[in-house]
Amino acid sequence: MPDGSEARTDSVGAWAKKQYLLSRALTEATLRPWSLGRTQWLVLWQLVHGGSTPQREMGRLLEIERATLSGIVGALVRKGLVSQEADTGDQRQRTLHLTDAGMALWAELPDPVAVATEVAFGGMDPADLAVARGVLQEATRRLTEHLAARTDSGTDA
């Protein structure tokens, strides 16, 4: 029987974390030649696929803290890839737009998520992937519900 440390390093959760971290590293390496980070790419992706987006909504969509998003947007604005416009109804609110330079860059960028997905999962049996996805979805659902219940009851998670 494995000792506690081996069980922790060979668990499904440990392997999911390792896969995530390596996938993230490959994503960053894929974007490095264009001087973009993963989260900058996510902002561009949202603007390409969702159109102009209020900055506050961008933070919610990408689950990014407001201060973090401000820095990311500032970098994209300085690079000329994104513009910000004040909302006509509330001058404190900003809407993000992809610039022509941003669209041109997007057209030449590889999709780092597709690259990482192909490297990690290309050629694997779709049935095996469906089982793995289902297991992780169920585990995530259980953890989410457990934490919500603890928060609702006032118990520290």
Please give the chain's pLDDT, 157 residues, in tens.
455 666 678 899 899 999 999 999 999 999 999 999 999 999 999 999 999 999 999 999 999 999 999 999 999 999 999 999 987 777 778 999 999 999 999 999 999 999 999 999 999 999 999 999 999 999 999 999 999 998 887 766 5
Give the Cα separation of 130 and 85 in Å (integer): 43
For the chain, what is the total number of helices (H) and then of strands (E)? 8, 3
**Best CA proximity match to 44, nearest among 15, 24, 72, 16:** 72
Map tokens 């894929």 to a residue. 30
Who's near 37: CB < 8 A, 6+ residues apart?
A: 28, 31, 72
Q: What is the pLDDT of residue 86?
A: 86
Residues pairing with 81 in the sheet: none
What tokens were used for 123? 């050629």
Give the Cα separation of 39 and 126 in Å (integer): 29
Give the Cα separation of 144 and 157 in Å (integer): 11
The β-bridge relationship of strands 94-98 and 82-86 is antiparallel
